[in-house]
Amino acid sequence: MPETARWPAAWVRAALDLAVLGSLVPGPRHGYALAQELQDRGFGRLRGGSLYPVLARLEEAGHVAAGWVDAGSGPARKDYRLTAEGRAHLAEGLASWADLGEALRMEEGP
């Protein structure tokens, strides 16, 4: 797992909301599992100080819902799941990033 991100820190910060939403598409996850998933995807090792404020912001916006679940052994953990509003926001955001990518492509002139 990469300790450092594949992309510059500013890019990671700009894409983190959508990356978190995308990581929730398969199903609910707790914060540590989200951090692991994002690290595996090349976002580097995220600290709680960068991940949890994003989760709080997404929850406040209605893009994720959170709830405490019994972990079996050990303390309960807070799981996050994608809402319908979050899916719509993710789709819109990914379309915008694709548009940005297209705008950044330079065609060779004559």
Task: Kindly compute the dihedral angle of the four CA atoms of residues 97, 103, 7, 30, in this order, to the nearest 10 degrees.
Answer: 0
CB atoms < 10 A from the CB of 4, how many?
11
pLDDT tens profile 2-25? 578 888 888 888 999 999 999 999
pLDDT in tens, 79-97: 999 999 999 999 999 999 9
pTM passes above 0.75: yes
* Per-residue pLDDT tens digits for 96-106: 999 999 999 87
Q: At what angle do helices 9-23 and 31-38 cross, to 10 degrees?
A: 120
What Å distances lie between residue 12 and 23, 77, 94, CA to CA? Answer: 14, 26, 14
d(CA 83, CA 10): 27
- Domains of the chain in start order, with CATH, are 9-104 (1.10.10.10)
Residue position matching structure tokens 């090792």: 45
